[in-house]
Chain A
């Protein structure tokens, strides 16, 4: 769990952890982070992905950051939990559907254990009923895969809907808190428990100066 709420720090941390796994200086990694209010965009600006209200973002002083992965623009605030799986992969040729179906598996399972009827919705969403609670994006070198996503726990949806211009066909967004009272830490804990029950062996480190062992990052010595 990153201790920082600075989006620049968290995105840099994520990118550096990716390099660590890629260079085999680190085990597979799961990173959680929560950002202060910001917009985060993918590397490509495509009408397929929607965009954001540039004038409003500027007026409100909402900064825009670019991440490693594809996809459109998402709004982050303290009510959103970001999760990132960074893993070595043997199969260098992956389809988006497989990436996101596998990438969302433990998140969906965790939400279901909480009693929330979440499900993977192709190509890259997690929905509760017909509403979106998580969007995912991914990046791979063929040797290392980063799959990450948002998780709307108690986000300012009014502001999100004003800032983000969704792509065609995108369902409305919903917070998990609309279904149950829950804290971010509860969600992190249930995800960790789900992974442990699935047979993973997390190594929780308090970190060193080496970016490959960042403060409070979680590493796994095996990932299916």
Chain B
């Protein structure tokens, strides 16, 4: 099940960061991170993504990847502090996967170091969907 608005879906079972427009799910203590549906729609067709190397330590909000679309190179930020332990090579080789299926194509995995403090900043599907409505309207987008 998932919530949706203007074609933008928010699957249940994931958590969402509306400041950095990423989703998170936890697998065996690791946080798996990808781009939300509205986030990728707003960015446009992604033609290049450079992800920080495994072993990189980041604080919440730090740049975990740089994404290029329409000649604009912008940041993708980590919602959690921790160390990058894996990057999705499929996404690195074919960045448009993030546009095609944002929830099926994670970008990086992080071993979180401040989860107790930072987990509360993530929203569940229902709340994220509600809060995203005004953002989607402001951006003037629809997700395909």
Contact = CB atoms under 8 A, between A and B. Distances in A.
A39 B139 CA distance: 35
Nearest to B68: A70
B77 interface: yes
B68 A142 contact: no
Interface in A19-55: 42-44, 46, 48-49
Contacts of A172: none
Given A44-B48, A46-B47, A70-B48, A141 B75 contact: yes
Interface residues of A, number: 29
A141 B39 contact: no
Contacts of B20: 92-93
A72 interface: yes
A182 interface: no
B123 interface: no
Contacts of B70: 70, 96-97, 100, 123-124
A48 B42 CA distance: 19
Contact of B68 (A43, A92, A99, A141): A43
Interface stretch (A1-9, A111-119, A132-140, A150-158): A132-140
A194 interface: no
Contacts of A136: 71
B4 interface: no
A138 B72 contact: yes
A95 interface: yes
A140 B71 contact: no
B42 A140 contact: no
Contacts of A138: 71-74
A23 to B, nearest CB: 15
A137 B70 CA distance: 8
Contacts of B92: none
B140 to A, nearest CB: 9
A95 to B, nearest CB: 5
Given A70-B68, A123-B70, A124-B70, A95 B44 contact: yes
B83 interface: no
Interface of B: 19-21, 39, 42-45, 47-48, 63, 68-75, 77, 139
Interface of A: 42-44, 46, 48-49, 68-72, 92-97, 99-100, 123-124, 135-142
